[in-house]
Amino acid sequence: MRIDFAKKTIEGPSRSTPIVSFDKSQDQLLMQGTELGFAWTLVIDTATGEMTSSVVNRDHAYIMFGACTVK
C-alpha cells in the first residue's frame, strides 16, 4: 500500500481510501478513516518508519505491524 500525503489517501492495488483524520506530533503520524464498514487507524513512528495499524468493526479486529519506506 502507498500513502499519498498530497491527496490524503491510502492506495492499494485495487482501490484507495481517504484519510479522514490526520495528526502529526514530534514522534508519530496518526491517520484514521473508514472503508467497507470498517474503521481503521494507522500510526507511523517518524524516526524509524515502524507502523502499527488496526482495522475494526463490531465483529472483528485486525492488528498489523510493519515498516514504511520512502519511495
Report the distance separating Cα 27 and Cα 11, nearest Å.
Answer: 24
What's the pTM value of the predicted model, to 2 decimals? 0.87
Backbone phi, then psi, for 6, in 5-degree steps? Answer: -65, -40
Residue 71 has pLDDT above 90, yes or no: no
Mean pLDDT of 53-68: 96
Residue 70 has pLDDT above 90, yes or no: no
Domain limits, the chain: 2-67
Give tens-digit pLDDT for 4-56.
Answer: 999 999 998 999 999 999 999 999 999 999 999 999 999 999 999 999 999 99
